[in-house]
Structure 1
Amino acid sequence: MSFEQCKNVASLMRGFNKTWYIAGGWAIDLFIGKETRKHKDIEFAVFRKDQFYLKSYLIEWDFKKVINSELYTWGNEFLELPVHEIHASNKMNGGEIEILLNETKDDNWTFRRDLRISYPINSIWSYSKSRIPFLNPEIVLLYKAKNTREKDHQDFMTIKDYLDNEQKQWLSYKLEIHQPTHKWLQFLSY
């Protein structure tokens, strides 16, 4: 299928010289190579340390930070945890995107909900056949494990058989740390 929203983000980010990648349900679909469900929105992630680069790159966009599910204008302050979500709208055409800030420490990505969980920074994303970067599915699923909604469970059931043993093992181990009673653990034997 077309992945138009993903292609639009890739076009928008073409000149951004820092790491970025599609996140959420679209990342699951990019990994599989086909659209598996309808998506209401699209989100991509950048490293927290690169937030000002992003803001200066998207000069024609207005930004709002999300605090306790409410939107507030993002001024010039550096956004620290627990703030991790930004909504942006294009002043010229009204386009909207959601940006997620990901944590890093040294050469590792760290899971903001449990800083004991990490992954080598250069191994957290892959590229689709059309060269769109996306967050690897085992990490996407770790994020989706908290307050799992129907669409999150649908994403898991769609992708679980596409995961290799290493991905299943990593996700299983991290779920045991972070969500030890999660229902997905029963499906992750490798």
Structure 2
Amino acid sequence: MTAPTTPLAHDAWSAWHPAELARRLAGVPRPWCVVGGWALDLWHGAGTRPHEDLEFTLLRPDFPLFRAALPDVRLHLVGDGKVRPLAEGEAPPADIAQVWCEDRAARRWRVDMMLEDGTPETWVYKRDPSIRRPRREAVRLGAGGIPHLAPEIVLLFKAKYRRDKDEADFVRALPKLDAPARDWLRECLAGGHPGHAWLDALETIRR
């Protein structure tokens, strides 16, 4: 199919539901998981707010397998605020960790593919590789067996931005986090974001 000459607008999102993504990736025998706000909703077991997009992660060496599993999408590299098509057979360069998937027929963005380091056994935090978790702890299974990132890890990512939706996600999640998850998040925030307002909330619920 010939590539369209008109670039797709960055906000042209009609994201799949995680269940649709899981259906399409059912034959891929490698680790992946939903991240971001959708991961929290899978953990909650219910929708808590609208989601503009859908994000999932995979190990960088496994990219060709996931590309093959999504033949109906056109891939685009995302970095430095720019989006450019990824040529057939081209691998994402080492400095790119985000790939948007465009539905060829509908001309809408469907899912955001995030390339991560680590191994099938170990999850590695991309902003500080010294922070690691066994993948069996870092990834949970939600309804329908959909893998998603553990809530305390999702919140660690969100702590950097503190957008309105991130604050709301934290408030909803805090009462449901168990003690080990709260302790882990508190330790990571203290090291990476000293003075962060969420530290007070985590300390208060600890008492």
- Alignment of structure 1 residues 138-177 onto 2, 5 Å: 138-177=152-191
Structure 2 counterpart of 1:63: 75
* Aligned-residue offset at 1:37: 0.8
- Give distance in 2, aligned partners of 1:106 and 1:134: 15
Matched, 1:44 2:26: no
* Aligned-residue offset at 1:108: 2.0
Contact 1:88–1:98 (Cα < 8 Å) also in 2: yes
Structure 2 counterpart of 1:8: 20
SS of the residue 2:118 aligns to: strand
Contact 1:104–1:121 (Cα < 8 Å) also in 2: no
* Aligned-residue offset at 1:105: 5.2
- Give distance in 2, aligned partners of 1:29 and 1:78: 29
Q: What is the Cα-based RMSD across aligned positions, in Å?
A: 1.7
* Aligned-residue offset at 1:33: 0.9
The partner residue of 1:132 within 125, 130, 146 is: 146
Report runs of 4+ in structure 1 exceeding 4 Å deviation: none
- Give distance in 2, aligned partners of 1:177 and 1:142: 11
* Aligned-residue offset at 1:114: 1.2
Structure 1 counterpart of 2:100: 87
* Aligned-residue offset at 1:59: 2.3
Contact 1:64–1:73 (Cα < 8 Å) also in 2: yes
- Alignment of structure 1 residues 103-122 onto 2, 5 Å: 103-104=117-118, 107-122=121-136
SS of the residue 2:30 aligns to: coil
Count of aligned positions: 186
- Alignment of structure 1 residues 17-32 onto 2, 5 Å: 17-32=29-44
TM-score between both structures, scaled by the size of structure 1: 0.90
Unaligned runs of 5+ in 2: 1-15
Structure 1 counterpart of 2:200: 186
TM-score between both structures, scaled by the size of structure 2: 0.83
* Aligned-residue offset at 1:158: 0.6
* Aligned-residue offset at 1:180: 1.3
| Deviations 1:9-39 (CA, angstroms, capped at 9, x unpaired) | 1112111221111110011011111111111
| Deviations 1:101-143 (CA, angstroms, capped at 9, x unpaired) | 2220584211111112111122211111321111111111111
What is the percentage of aligned positions where both structures have the same residue? 28
Contact 1:128–1:134 (Cα < 8 Å) also in 2: yes
